[in-house]
Amino acid sequence: MTHLETLDSPDALKKLSIHDLKELSQEVRDRLIRVLSVTGGHLASNLGSVELSIALHYVFHSPDDAFIFDVSHQTYTHKLLTGRNDERFDKIRHSEGLNGFAHPKESPHDHFYAGHAGTALSLALGMARSRDLSFQKNHVIPVIGDATLTCGLSLEALNNVSRDLSRFILILNDNEMSISKNVGGITNILSRLLSNPTTSKLTRELEHLVSKIPVYGNSLAKKGMKLTESIKNIVSSAPFFEQFGFSYIGPIDGHDVKKLVAVLQAVKDLPMPVIIHTLTKKGQGVKRAERDPIAYHGVKPFDPKTCEFLPSTSKQATFPKIFGKHVVKMGEKNSRLALITPAMSLGSCLDPFHDKFPERFFDVGIAEGHAVTFAGGLCKTGKLNVVCSIYATFFQRALDNLFQDVCLQEIPVVFAVDRAGFSPGDGATHHGIYEISFLRAMPNMVICQPRDGHVLKELMESAFSWKQPTAIRYPNLPTVERNEEIKFRPLGKGEILAEGEDLLIIALGHQCNAALSLRDLLKEKGVCATVVDPVFIKPLDKELFGDLLLKHNRVVTIEEHSLKGGLGSEINEFVITHDFGQVEILNFGIPETFVDQGGYQELLSEIGLNPEKMLQRIMTHFSFHTYAEMP
């Protein structure tokens, strides 16, 4: 039996020797590779944090000592060490399996739901202050990556750390990566910091020389802090953390478990906040992942022996791939086109644009608010056509920036809202199912969604002509492109996809496919439905829907978005505002609940958003069963 198989809690870990911990590290890596080769998930980051996670649990006492993992995609080892090394881990990121992020309902060792970068420091600081006010003595240990420091929220938290804060140990797990390579000035500070081992040596030598001065030497040495700090500022940026009140230790080899344990034991009871700077390698132990940590950040199934990715079963391109390919073509025709991303270049398929037009490509790091406001500034003069590509779940982080710096200014930035809809493997922190609700509230905002790759291209080509802030939202799903001419899309015009007299189905984006399948099922029951793709949620095609509602008094809306504030809400308000009093509406979408991880089709079935379950509700709700029984 392996060490890992014997561990049912962190307490059991403490009975192992340091040599055993090294063997355990390899066992954990083997377990990660076996499971993720089947389920997919965050491989490189978890391989890189094995020893650090083991050392933390070896020295501290979770859950009393609170580990707060930033983003928390690197918590797989933490889960294995805290009683979750069972069949749930074999199904991680799938239905009935573990969540891929920290999840308090799974275990008391997970203190917060996580998934977005930059929150750990603020959460940990709040927990530490609560602890002190309650006269408790436990440790609070936020674990952040170097990319965390590109988030403004992290710097705001640093600004509130006081020098008398004890039992607060910040772990900076530095692998020089977020998903893609880190960018920005903070990254340069860390690089200079870890590349200057001469700093502390020079300081010590200077103090030694000053102390040799007759009579006044010792006094001068003790009072020479300003001088030595000046020398440190010249040689490196080590004082960056010290100016925030931290005692800095490092950098330390994050894969040397013996050294990690020794350092953690030495600093655990210091009466001031401490930062331990560890250097780790993403993908540690798997050569392919070490060489290409970007590709192995979030993996699809792969061969566990060779770690080569298995061939894709889908021959269709996805919406993001079509967007990435077509925006390059637009850039070739339009030298005024500029593209912004908050560290999502790889996921949003923007690397080809960056490679071809580096001077017009801006990766601002994990800083969504800055990305949106920067887009407003870049677009203000009207000399550039600006596209800001951003995940739907991360767009929430820039709500005020969108209102103040784009919509209020009436600046026509085009937002490519990627991952709109379910993010099946990631769960509640990542689903892009809320942004229509706040986008609808913004005056002057255009919201549209293509049903396929061809319509996506048409919206991309047409958006700048509308001269308004625009959000084009699309999911990370396979779709068709259609080999047809790309036509101009007039603002606010929908399309009728099929006609019928008994029911009006209004379906948003890719859910048009489900609507057409639903129409076929209804037809078998004797119900003939009209299917409409609104294309635009805002502005709604008032002329089209006014005409359709005069002909249909039974209406169904379908969307992969929260029922609160989405397409259904827009249609409901339209019916009330324009006094279509005889119209009855049934809205299909995502109910007011937090949806966990699972397979895409499983999630749709769970909330009743597949054609078969929608058919049952429609037949019952509108009493359509009488149609099928008629001779």
For residue 480, is it within any domain? no
Per cent of the chain over pLDDT 90 is 77
More confident residue, 24 or 204: 24
pLDDT of residue 607: 96
Residue 132 predicted with pLDDT over 70: yes
pLDDT at 358 over 70: yes
Rg (CA), the chain: 28
Residues 170 and 266 grouped into a single domain: yes
- The verdict on residue 46 lying in a domain is yes
Higher pLDDT, 586 or 216: 586
What is the average per-residue pLDDT within 557-576? 97
Q: Write down the catalytic residue from 31, 84, 131, 368.
A: 368
Tell me: do 150 and 186 sit in the same domain: yes
Tell me, yes or no, whether 485 lies in a domain: no
Per-residue pLDDT, 462: 98
pTM over the 0.85 mark = yes
> How many angstroms separate the CA atoms of 263 and 260, rounded?
5
Residues 176 and 68 in one domain: yes
Give the chain's mean pLDDT: 89
Could you give the CA distance from residue 300 to residue 307 in angstroms, rounded to a whole number?
11
Phi, psi for residue 413 in degrees, rounded to 5: -70, 140
Question: Are 275 and 190 contained in the same domain?
Answer: yes
Arithmetic mean of pLDDT, 197-201:
42
Q: Per-residue pLDDT averaged across 285-297, rounded? A: 82
pLDDT value, residue 185: 54
- 180: pLDDT strictly greater than 80: no
- Average pLDDT (47-53) is 95
Residue range 336-340: mean pLDDT, rounded: 98
User: What stretch of H or E contains 507?
Assistant: strand 503-507
| pLDDT at 412 exceeding the cut of 90 | yes
- Selected catalytic residue, list 84, 282, 489, 554: 282
Residue 314 pLDDT: 74
Q: Are 457 and 544 contained in the same domain?
A: no
Helix pair 18-39, 257-267: axis angle to 10 deg: 110
Q: Can you give the pLDDT at residue 205?
A: 46
Would residue 308 count as lying in a domain? no
Considering the candidates 84, 397, 473, 519, report the single residue annotated as catalytic. 397
Higher pLDDT, residue 510 or 227: 510
CATH of the domain at 535: 3.40.50.920
Q: What average pLDDT does the segment 72-92 reach?
A: 96
pLDDT of residue 214: 56
**Nearest alpha carbon to residue 507 among 521, 496, 499:** 496
Considering the domain architecture, whether residues 72 and 201 belong to the same structural domain is answered as no
Residues in the chain: 631
Q: Average pLDDT, stretch 76-95?
A: 96
**Who's near 358: CB < 8 A, 6+ residues apart?**
none
pLDDT (mean) for 68-95: 96
Residue 411 has pLDDT above 80, yes or no: yes
- 615: in domain: yes
Q: Which amino acid is at 352?
A: P
What pLDDT, on the 0 to 100 scale, is given for residue 405? Answer: 98
Are 558 and 572 within one domain?
yes
Same domain, 525 and 623: yes
Contact between 164 and 245 (Cβ < 8 Å):
no
Q: What is the average per-residue pLDDT within 98-114?
A: 96
- pLDDT value, residue 1: 82
Taking residues 256-280, report their average pLDDT. 92
> Are 385 and 400 contained in the same domain?
yes
Please check whether residue 228 lies inside any domain of the structure.
yes
Higher pLDDT, 329 or 178: 329
| Residue span of the structural domain in which 385 resides | 319-473
What would the pLDDT profile of 441-474 be if each residue is shown by its tens digit?
999 999 999 999 999 999 999 999 999 999 999 9
Angle between helices 257-267 and 50-59 (to 10 degrees): 40
pLDDT level of residue 307 (50, 70, 90 thresholds): confident
Count: domains in the chain: 4
Domain boundary among 473, 503, 524: 473
Among residues 181, 213, 235, which one ends one of the domains? Answer: 235
Amino acid at 453: G
Residue 306 confidence class, pLDDT cut points 50, 70, 90: confident
Please determine, for residue 196, whether its predicted confidence score (pLDDT) is greater than 80: no
Q: For 39-43, 527-531, 538-542, which range has the lowest pLDDT when averaged over its residues?
A: 39-43
pLDDT at 211: 52
Nearest to 393 by CA among 434, 357, 352: 434
487 occurs within a structural domain = no
Encode pLDDT of 363-376 as tens digits: 999 999 999 999 99
Q: State the Cα angle at 371 between 367 and 374, rounded to 5°.
A: 130
Are 201 and 97 part of one and the same domain? no
Residue 338 included in any domain: yes
Give the lowest-confidence range in 55-64, 89-98, 154-163, 280-289: 280-289
- Per-residue confidence (pLDDT) for residue 237, from 0 to 100: 42
Q: Which position has the higher pLDDT, 22 or 303?
A: 22
Q: Are both 16 and 146 inside the same structural domain? A: yes
The Cα-based distances of 54 to 13, 51, 81, 103 in angstroms read 8, 5, 8, 19
Of residues 433 and 625, which shows the higher confidence score? 433
Which pLDDT belongs to residue 221? 47
Instruction: Pick the range with the lowest mean pLDDT from 32-46, 216-230, 447-461.
Output: 216-230
The predicted pLDDT at position 230 comes to 42
pLDDT value of position 215 = 53
* Alpha carbons 503 and 553: distance in angstroms, whole number: 7
Residue 351: its H or E element: helix 351-356
397 included as an active-site residue: yes
Residue 256 contacts residue 51 (beta carbons within 8 Å) = yes
Tell me what the mean pLDDT of segment 68-79 comes to. 96
Flag whether pLDDT at 195 surpasses 50.
no
Rounded to the nearest 10°, the torsion over CA 129, 135, 137, 139 is: -10
Residue 491 is which amino acid?
Answer: L
Query: Are the beta carbons of 552 and 503 closer than 8 angstroms?
Result: yes
* CB 498 within 8 Å of CB 441: no
With cut-offs at 50, 70 and 90, classify the pLDDT of residue 219. Answer: low
Q: In what order do the strands lie in the sheet with 169-174?
A: 66-69, 140-145, 169-174, 274-279, 247-253
| CATH number of the domain that residue 417 is part of | 3.40.50.970
Which whole number is the average pLDDT over 248-272? 91
Residues 164 and 74 in one domain: yes
How many Cα atoms occupy the beta-carbon half-sphere of 314 within 13 Å?
A: 8
